[in-house]
Homo-oligomer: A and B are copies of this chain.
């Protein structure tokens, strides 16, 4: 006879690309968000919490850094409207800035933290729901707003435990790139629509600099590039001099660093003042760089005074955009940012002007920033590598224009909370293993009320505690449970103890250590369990907890 099947049971699974967070994972992220929020708040930023759901219309579909802007959101239809989960915290800010423009202060500084959702193919460590932690200033055209964001970002990183020297915030400016493109002859201020296709290819190419390197980008600036799979990507078709101009911009950091090293060497060998000593003599061909660099001495930028460092970078950029109005404006903005930051003591050991920041240059309209962690970690294959970027942002001056027709300047930053948590973990500064609760065991089912009174006493004294709520028959199971809960202490009170008004207080951490390491002699010498008067239980537990705090 055939078996009669019941209805199919549902699968107990998260949807593809989503995950659950337990205990210490939740509290570690919360602690980080709290610390960042405290810094944002101190800088005068106000909290804003929008809902997860927006109309697709209000949201727009302008995911940055995505080639197919119409994809990437979770959306569904409701009556005539389409609703969707927000894919970042900037799009809802744009909607809020337009919706409440009469009521909000101008400028409006706001911070927001919470999950965002991307309908993308999940990968290892890449989830479709993740946290962002943003701060933006809406309605301030001054680059003082950008400088403030950079200083705040430095403070935020330090507040969560990234030591000074373990991070650097790099600042670049889209306007400088525009100047470079103007000088290279692919941007005509008189007719901005000309060479749009070429500029598009250039922007996409330099956005991939980290991945493709000098040769890959140079190929894309010229005829094109064939990747490992044999696919050919058509290039921008720039001539040699044009491409060199772009390449100098992209490699500017290395070029400047090399020059700094050379000068530092000269200065230290002669004992003079670098400011008087040199005029920048920039290396003309970036491909010579590796060779020349290997000849130079290593010197860290924080040995160079702010003034010298900035003068080097800004001189270099001035040269590069010479003749372009927008380019000069961009260099001047960077100069202002550097000097505003210097006035507050944020030197190049924390925030540097760095023309090699190219990520997001296609998206932002003015200054761009990127925070990078500079310490080495070991990747999944055991190789050392730099941890890399944990935050980024910049100026985007068309924030609410979609809604109101009016251009409103805005600048902001987004911290990748999950990456930052991973970084602290890699640095050994991850969440301290959470201490489990004290477990009051159940020796005698008739005394449940007494056990609850004990547990209540501990809790009212501020000590995390619980009574064993499983089946108390097998006492071994209770200790196994305490072990799973990582309990530091167990309380035991049987009939005999109850009659004598005492409890047994068992130090489970010491117990585990003894079981793992100690010889029998040591084991006997140590008291992993003490009998105390019931009235002394709280004090005794406190004493043991203090040992392991």
Verify B26–A48 contact, CB threshold 8 A: yes
Verify B44–A464 contact, CB threshold 8 A: yes
Closest chain B residue, CB of each to CB of A461: B42
Verify B15–A54 contact, CB threshold 8 A: yes
Counting contact residues on chain A (CB < 8 A from B), the size range is 35 or more
Task: Evaluate whether A403 and B469 lie within 8 angstroms (CB atoms) in the complex, with A48-B22, A54-B15, A115-B52 already known.
Answer: no
B residues within 8 A CB of A22? 46-48
C-alpha spacing A18/B459, complex, angstroms:
39
Closest chain B residue, CB of each to CB of A75: B76
Verify B452–A13 contact, CB threshold 8 A: no
A542 contacts the other chain (CB 8 A): no
C-alpha spacing A416/B74, complex, angstroms:
28
A473 to chain B, nearest CB (A): 12
Tell me the A128-148 residues at the B interface (CB within 8 Å): 128-129, 137, 139-142, 144-145, 147-148
Verify A18–B51 contact, CB threshold 8 A: yes
Task: Evaluate whether A140 and B469 lie within 8 angstroms (CB atoms) in the complex, with A53-B129, A344-B453, A452-B343 already known.
Answer: yes
C-alpha spacing A52/B85, complex, angstroms:
10
C-alpha spacing A336/B10, complex, angstroms:
36
The one of B26, B44, B449, B467 in contact with A148, judged by C-beta atoms closer than 8 angstroms, is B467
Closest chain B residue, CB of each to CB of A445: B142
A167 to chain B, nearest CB (A): 18
Query: A-side interface residues toward B, CB under 8 Å?
Result: 9-15, 18-23, 25-27, 30, 41-44, 46-55, 57-58, 60, 74-76, 78, 81, 83, 85, 95-96, 98-100, 105-107, 109, 115, 117, 128-129, 137, 139-142, 144-145, 147-148, 151, 155, 336, 339-340, 342-345, 400, 402-405, 437, 448-450, 452-453, 456, 459, 462-467, 469-471, 481, 484-485
Which 6 pairs show the lowest CB-CB distances between chains A and B?
A44-B466, A12-B98, A343-B449, A26-B47, A140-B469, A44-B437
Secondary structure call for the A interface: mixed
Verify A50–B144 contact, CB threshold 8 A: no
Verify A48–B60 contact, CB threshold 8 A: no
Verify A20–B48 contact, CB threshold 8 A: yes
For the complex formed by this chain, how many copies does it contain in all?
2
The one of B27, B53, B57 in contact with A11, judged by C-beta atoms closer than 8 angstroms, is B57
Verify B19–A51 contact, CB threshold 8 A: yes
Closest chain B residue, CB of each to CB of A81: B15
Task: Evaluate whether A117 and B53 lie within 8 angstroms (CB atoms) in the complex, with A12-B403, A22-B47, A140-B469 already known.
Answer: yes
A98 to chain B, nearest CB (A): 4
Task: Evaluate whether A467 and B55 lie within 8 angstroms (CB atoms) in the complex, with A26-B47, A50-B20 already known.
Answer: no
Can you list 17 A-B pairs, Cβ within 8 angstroms, ordered by A? A12-B98, A12-B99, A13-B95, A13-B99, A14-B99, A15-B78, A20-B51, A22-B46, A25-B49, A30-B47, A44-B465, A53-B128, A74-B76, A109-B466, A140-B470, A155-B459, A343-B452
A399 to chain B, nearest CB (A): 11
C-alpha spacing A194/B41, complex, angstroms:
63
